[in-house]
Every structure is written in C-alpha cells, then in structure tokens.
Amino acid sequence: MTTIRRETRETQIRLRLEPGDGGATITTDEPFLSHMLATFARYAGLDLEVEATGDLQHHLVEDVAIALGAALRDETPETCARYGAVTVPMDEALVQVALDAGGRPHFEGRLPSSLYEHFLRSLAMNAAYTLHVRVIRGRDRHHIVEAAVKALGLAVRRALAPGDAVFSTKGAVALERD
C-alpha cells in the first residue's frame, strides 16, 4: 500500500493506492476527474482512495496525476509482466494504449482534451512509465478520454501482473540516491 500526500499553495491531495479489486473512494472538486479516477481504479484492478481540492481545475488535475503516478511507481513490482497494451472501444471512440512499466518515463499521444493529455503525461512521468496513447477514431471528447482511461487501466493491470523474473535483458537496474 502506498499513501501520497501532496500539498502546495494550489492543491491539497491525499491518495492511497494498493492492489485490490478496483474499489475506489474518490472526493475531488472536479466531477469528471472523480469519474476518471474511479474508472481507472476499476479497470486497473487497484484500490484507490483520493481526497483532493484545488484552486483551479488545471492545478487539481495535474497534481492528482503527479500523486497517482508516484503511487504507481511505488506499487510497480520489480518482477512483473512489465508491458501492457489494450485497445478499447466506447461508442464511436476507439483508443489504443501501450505501456512499459520498466522505469523509463516517456509519453506520446494526443487527446482532444489538452487537460487530460497533460494528466496522462504527468502520470507517465511520475510513474516512470513509457506510455503511448493513440486515438484511432472518435467524435465525443468525453468518450475518447474515458476510453483512454479505461485502456490505461487495463494496460496497467496487464503490466503489473506477477512475473517470475526481471523482464529485461539488462537485469535489475540499481539506482542509488544520497
């Protein structure tokens, strides 16, 4: 279980993440963010609690993504499947997500919502995941973003599945910090 507290002049966040069955208790100032966090938890198979308030929508969404990414980084086991790729249809939307939970932060993708594109980028950078998101088709911004979050959750579920060894030709990479 990982608990993250992030407090700035702009936001106050408490987030708890742990392996589970996808249960979520989410309280934020932004209903769509709350919906996306609960959706992510369900599809990722992770239990998630979030209490978050903020001065502006952008600050809240970004800082929650930073906290969630940091928690994902802490919850990523050294021995796991590492990779996950999923394509999710939602009505007229079709979105593909591919990720590598191997500790190399990178984001590629375009969403019709710059706010949620930024959410995914912030999450990937703080989780130290390589994350690719491809919108294959769609017209409704809500459906596209929600399909991306569902695909992300399923890809995380696959990537964090138990593995019996470090899945890399390099073996484990040790980083020491002073």
Here the CATH number for the domain that contains residue 152 is 3.30.230.40
Assess if residue 176 is contained within a domain. no
What single-letter amino acid sits at 21?
Answer: D
Assess if residue 12 is contained within a domain. yes
Check the CA dihedral 26-32-37-40 and report its sign: positive
Pairing outcome for strands 93-100 and 2-7? unpaired
Q: 117 near 110, Cβ under 8 Å? A: yes
Burial 76-97 (b: 16+ CB within 10 A, else e): beeebebbbebebebeebbbbb
Assess if residue 97 is contained within a domain. yes
Q: What is the tens place of the pLDDT at every residue in 48-65?
A: 999 999 999 999 999 999
Q: Does pLDDT of 143 surpass 60? A: yes
Distance from C-alpha of 35 to C-alpha of 27, rounded to nearest angstrom: 10
Distance from C-alpha of 95 to C-alpha of 126, rounded to nearest angstrom: 22
80 DSSP 8-state letter: B
Q: What is the tens place of the pLDDT at every residue in 69-87?
A: 999 999 999 889 999 999 9
Neighbours of 168 (CB within 10 A): 12
Determine the pLDDT at residue 173.
45
Assess if residue 175 is contained within a domain. no
Assess if residue 63 is contained within a domain. yes
Assess if residue 95 is contained within a domain. yes
With CA atoms as reference, report the closest residue to 22 among 160, 117, 157: 157
Range with lowest mean pLDDT among 53-57, 139-143, 165-169: 165-169
User: At 79, phi and psi to the nearest 5?
Assistant: -105, 105
Q: Does pLDDT of 36 surpass 60? A: yes
* Residues forming beta bridges with residue 17, ordered by sequence position: 2, 48
List helix spans (H) across 9-140.
31-44, 57-75, 114-127
Q: Does pLDDT of 105 surpass 50? A: yes
Q: Which domain holds residue 65?
A: 2-159
Assess if residue 173 is contained within a domain. no
In the block, tokens 């249960």 appear at 23
Q: What separation, in Å, do the N-terminal and C-terminal C-alpha atoms of the chain show?
A: 24
Confidence bin at 169 (pLDDT 50/70/90):
low
User: What is the count of structural domains for the chain?
Assistant: 1
Assess if residue 170 is contained within a domain. no
Confidence bin at 134 (pLDDT 50/70/90):
very high
